[in-house]
Structure 1
Amino acid sequence: MMRKLIWSPLRRLQDFLNGSAAGGLVLMGASAIALVIANSPAQEGYFSLLHASFGGMSVLHWINDGLMSVFFLLVGLEIKRELLDGELKTNRLRVLPGLAALGGMVVPAAIYVLLNHGDPEALKGWAVPSATDIAFALGVAALLGSRVPPSLKAFLAALAIIDDLGAVIIIAIFYTSGIALAYLALAGGILVALAAMNRWGVRSLWPYLVFGALLWIAVLRSGVHATLAGVALAMFIPIKDATGRLPSNGDCTHSPLAALEHALHRVVPFSIVPLFGFANAGVSFGGMGWEEWIAGTTLGVAFGLAAGKVIGIFGFSALAIRGGIASMPSGATWRELLATSLLCGIGFTMSLFIGMLAFADRADLQNEVKLGILVGSLVAGVAGWLVFLGGKRKNDEDGAPSIAMVP
């Protein structure tokens, strides 16, 4: 009896950790704790810890440039897997999420630029509202359960992967400065070595990880943002096993990429990403006036996420579906597609990351970015949640699923 009492909570904890909502909820909790501490008597200790120097870099720098490289490694692994053996492996599958992601990046950026066109310094943050936080968005979708059709969850995941790829490209092109050519050449040489190992059929992960650590150091010194080393490394991790077969049914026994992705999924959502949220979400509201709340940076990010994302994603998706170049996700309705587009306005992790890069030397603008992200993501998440809850699924006479208002 005692063993059963102990085992039951453990089983529930295991089920929670295995669920797709767990990572988003842990991130949400860590960010909420950061906000509380940053507005409490402990705020001085919180900010002092983040700016304490260790090994030549601040603690915050180690988190954002060091640990987040592991997050970007996971992002790169997911992008590669989806492109080669997932929801994006054919052009037909890429059309709808690809166009939706394009709209979801272009329209928020345009709204931000429109609201900040007279401020050259603020314009550096144009890419902040262009990113979707897959952990938060999928977490909310998971909490909604059967109200979100499986096809829309797959659409959301594919869209977020393409969105992450777009964010990586933006960081590489627009947020890189002061290139050191010698270190950049060294990074190029390491990439050649990684490509050679992949070509020669090396299947052990350790050589890739060792060269990956060297790549991170070279990229950090080169002036290119160090986190991009994680994405670059992922591109050379073999996805096929020794016989040349792709992993099937989640089997990660013989595929180096699948094995590494599986291992990182146990670490990144529950340690690295929450730590990033804890370190970056803390903003002190003390002394803030209406100037910060209605600043162009704040409004640009907030409206970009809450309005720009849904306009871009739903609008581009509707044009693609109505134009006959893409199909509505199986079993989904227009209302559900609209609700999913709203959830994509949750732009927490990647938006924060780009904001820190855009305004690395402007703490005031960083705080405005954080305000905009918090407000915009909250509005988008609640709106998407309510649109989903505002209807229930039923079958029409022809058997096709539809949405009916809750009586």
Structure 2
Amino acid sequence: MVSKLFQRFLHSQTSGGITLIFCTIFSLIVANSMFAESYQHMWHIDLFGHSLAHWVNDGLMAIFFFLIGLELKREMMIGELSSLKKAILPIFAAIGGMLVPAGIFAALNYGTDTINGFGIPMATDIAFAIAVITMLGKRVPMSLKIFLTALAVIDDLGAILVIALFYPNPELPFDITQFGLAMGILAGLFALNKFKVKSIIPYIIGGIAVWWFMLHSGIHATIAGVLVAFTIPFEKDQTKSLCAKVEHALHLPVAFLILPIFALANTAITIDGDGFSHFSFPLAAGIFLGLVVGKPIGVTLASFIAVKLGLCELPTAVNFKRVFGAGLLAGIGFTMSIFVSMLAFSDPQYVNEAKLMILVASVTAALLGFFYLKMTLTKRQDFSD
């Protein structure tokens, strides 16, 4: 039986994805209207030494990553990642869905100054992907929704590791002292967990301190959100679990406040009269082909290998045709892809080009995934294939 927490998660992600779509459309319209200059200026207003956009990307998004960490922990404790047998398929699918897109991008951008964007097509936007698959209604097996969710959560973990390893804070060199302080406080939070401290207050205070020192260590501050999430006490009885309570409390504000604000701040892209003619071909092609082509191929191929090697089995009511459909929806990069693009490039022109192509590729992947699954799911399937 699917847990109530997962059902609530599914609902919030679906509604949040729809909200993101409207915020993105609004941001694009305003950025290409007579109000464009004022709108852009608003996000660059100085607030305590940093722009408003900076606080959104380094501050609010740390809360988003904190929620991802809580979701990952829940899946590892009682969900689809709680046993090796359950986890093998989505892990293989996620790895394939990261390596193939990154490989396509790297092959097209090798030897250019855009090669650092290899991490852009590796990401999956959970909210958008779940929103699209939910629009297909009851014809979608719950097992396919769970597979896509587990795949996206692991994908997010992969993106977090890529950010930590390959995309340090571009404004600061690595500071071992600040990093050591962050790790020391984090160890203290794990100790609180060990001693079964269940008050959220010390975790909030310690979490903010970890975020602050991580912010000044040269490693991107949002990583602190994921690490702190793993210190929150977890119990199998979800009514008593602090981890479950915090996750439930954060679902709505993240889905309907933090991610929409992120979209408003980072999708204000001005599209000039030349359209796509001035684009850097390797960059645009790498992102588009990585997300739209690389994702479904990587997800399906890796899943096929895992099953044929006897490491796992396909879930009930799921076959490789449906895995391919889930892979198409995994090509909706959006939030995480945009986030990585801002870390990958210092040139604003490349950032804007990457963002616009991420939007184009994500919409394409969403439409292809929706219509492919609609066509596939209306037919009676032989699940032995």
TM-score (norm 2): 0.93
Name the structure 1 match of 2:56: 63
Say yes or no: does 1:374 pair with 2:359: yes
Residue among 198, 205, 208 paired with 2:200? 205
- Whole-Å separation in 1 of the counterparts to 2:218 and 2:111: 29
Say yes or no: does 1:313 pair with 2:299: yes
Task: Read off the aligned partner of 1:50 and give its amino acid letter.
Answer: W
Residue 334 of structure 1 deviates from its aligned partner by 2.8
Say yes or no: does 1:167 pair with 2:159: yes
Matches within 5 A, 1:8-407: 18=11, 20-119=13-112, 121-176=113-168, 178-240=173-235, 246-247=236-237, 251=238, 253-293=239-279, 295-359=281-345, 361-393=346-378
- Whole-Å separation in 1 of the counterparts to 2:12 and 2:65: 21
Distance 1:262 1:336, change over 3 A: same
Name the structure 2 match of 1:8: none
Task: Read off the aligned partner of 1:196 and give its amino acid letter.
Answer: A
- Whole-Å separation in 1 of the counterparts to 2:74 and 2:40: 38
- Identity in percent: 43
User: Could you report, residue by residue, the CA deviation over 1:150-207 in whole angstroms, capped at 9, with x for unpaired residues?
Assistant: 1111101111111111111111111115111221121122112101111111011111
Task: Read off the aligned partner of 1:62 and give its amino acid letter.
Answer: W
Task: Read off the aligned partner of 2:344 and give its amino acid letter.
Answer: A
DSSP-derived class of the 1:292 partner: coil
User: Could you report, residue by residue, the CA deviation over 1:37-92 in whole angstroms, capped at 9, with x for unpaired residues?
Assistant: 11111110111111111011101100000000000000000111111111100000
Structure number with greater Rg is 1
Task: Read off the aligned partner of 1:148 and give its amino acid letter.
Answer: V
Task: Read off the aligned partner of 1:187 and give its amino acid letter.
Answer: A
Distance 1:402 1:371, change over 3 A: farther
- Whole-Å separation in 2 of the counterparts to 1:128 and 1:190: 31
Question: Is the 8 Å Cα contact of residues 88 and 94 (structure 1) preserved in structure 2?
Answer: yes
Distance 1:113 1:395, change over 3 A: closer
Tell me the C-alpha RMSD between the 2 structures.
1.9
Distance 1:402 1:24, change over 3 A: farther
Question: Is the 8 Å Cα contact of residues 131 and 351 (structure 1) preserved in structure 2?
Answer: yes
Q: How many residues align?
A: 375
- Whole-Å separation in 2 of the counterparts to 1:394 and 1:287: 44
Question: Is the 8 Å Cα contact of residues 143 and 317 (structure 2) preserved in structure 1?
Answer: yes
Residue 110 of structure 1 deviates from its aligned partner by 0.6
Question: Is the 8 Å Cα contact of residues 292 and 368 (structure 1) preserved in structure 2?
Answer: no
DSSP-derived class of the 2:270 partner: coil
- Whole-Å separation in 1 of the counterparts to 2:289 and 2:356: 12
Question: Is the 8 Å Cα contact of residues 179 and 224 (structure 1) preserved in structure 2?
Answer: yes
Task: Read off the aligned partner of 2:77 and give its amino acid letter.
Answer: L
- Whole-Å separation in 1 of the counterparts to 2:262 and 2:102: 24
User: Could you report, residue by residue, the CA deviation over 1:2-22 in whole angstroms, capped at 9, with x for unpaired residues?
Assistant: xxxxxxxxxxxxx9x945421
Residue range with higher mean Cα deviation, 336-345 or 386-395? 386-395
Question: Is the 8 Å Cα contact of residues 120 and 337 (structure 2) preserved in structure 1?
Answer: yes
Question: Is the 8 Å Cα contact of residues 168 and 219 (structure 2) preserved in structure 1?
Answer: yes
- Alignment gaps of 5+ in structure 2: 1-7
- Alignment gaps of 5+ in structure 1: 1-14, 241-245
User: Could you report, residue by residue, the CA deviation over 1:115-171 in whole angstroms, capped at 9, with x for unpaired residues?
Assistant: 11130x201111000000010001111111123211111101111111111111111
- Whole-Å separation in 2 of the counterparts to 1:267 and 1:378: 25
Question: Is the 8 Å Cα contact of residues 131 and 347 (structure 1) preserved in structure 2?
Answer: yes
- Whole-Å separation in 1 of the counterparts to 2:257 and 2:384: 39
Task: Read off the aligned partner of 2:360 and give its amino acid letter.
Answer: V
DSSP-derived class of the 1:155 partner: helix
